[in-house]
Amino acid sequence: MPSGRTHDRITLWLLPVVTVLTYGLTRSGDLTLILAGSFLFAGLMFGPDLDIHSRQFIRWGWFRWIWIPYQKALNHRSVFSHGLIIGTIIRVLYITNLVLVLTLLFLVVTNLLLGWQWNWQRLAEDGVRSLFQHSAEFIALFVGMELGSMSHSFSDWGGSAYKRYQKGGWQAVLPKAKKRRVTSKRKSPGRKVGKRTAKTQRTPRKKL
């Protein structure tokens, strides 16, 4: 598995490529900036290695504690952290729910202490409305994070495959075919009986 520095270098090397391709496809500076920024963010701070004490985890600084429940719930390099698409979805849902809970607590405290009146229904409607109005931006944000996570996962898989190739050649890299179980033929009961009768056969009596 590549080191943290190698993952960082891969992210920085791919950043110009992702930026040029995004602008060539969208012809939009805003979408290109969002996608390239989310790609860089995912590669350095929001990638699959948040499930362990890694460079990505350390970069969160004082807020690294928010990923401790995430680490305890998942095994390292499981499909829920390193899997394509599903890993990014789980991290986005995790951080989104955490931000929502902290925001609701902040609003409740300010409402009790400062007497601010919040219209909860209006806040929810504004959030849903902004999601639909800026759907292209949210899609670019998610695609950038997924591309950053994919670069991390592919480099892990490629590094592991290269190590297996060095040890055992292509046979160690290619998936192994399942061996068919050869059922042993049962010996006929006659043979067993014959052996037993041969051993237990009595010697003939001598005639008087």
pLDDT in tens, 105-162: 888 887 777 766 666 677 778 778 888 888 999 999 999 999 999 887 787 666 565 4
Q: What is the pLDDT of residue 160?
A: 60
Residue 36 domain flag: yes
Structural domain harbouring 131: 4-173
47 contact partners, CB below 8 Å, separation of at least 6: 7, 56, 148, 149, 152
Please give the average per-residue pLDDT across 203-207, as a whole number.
52
Residue at 157 is within a domain: yes
- What's the pTM value of the predicted model, to 2 decimals? 0.72
Question: Does the residue 189 lie in any domain?
Answer: no
Distance CA 193, CA 195 (A): 5
Q: What does DSSP assign to residue 27?
A: -
Q: Evaluate whether residue 59 is within a structural domain.
A: yes
| Within-domain flag for 135 | yes
Tokens at 149, concatenated: 């996570």
Tokens 């899609």, located at residue: 139
Q: How far apart are CA 175 and CA 163, in angstroms?
A: 15
Average pLDDT on 61-81 reads 91
**Is residue 198, in this structure, part of any structural domain at all?**
no
Domain count, the chain: 1
Q: DSSP string of 93-130?
A: HHHHHHHHHHHHHHHHHHHHHT-----HHHHHHHHHHH
pLDDT at 176: 59
In a domain, 192, yes or no: no
- Asked whether residue 37 is assigned to any structural domain, the reply reads yes
Residue 195 or residue 166, greater confidence: 166
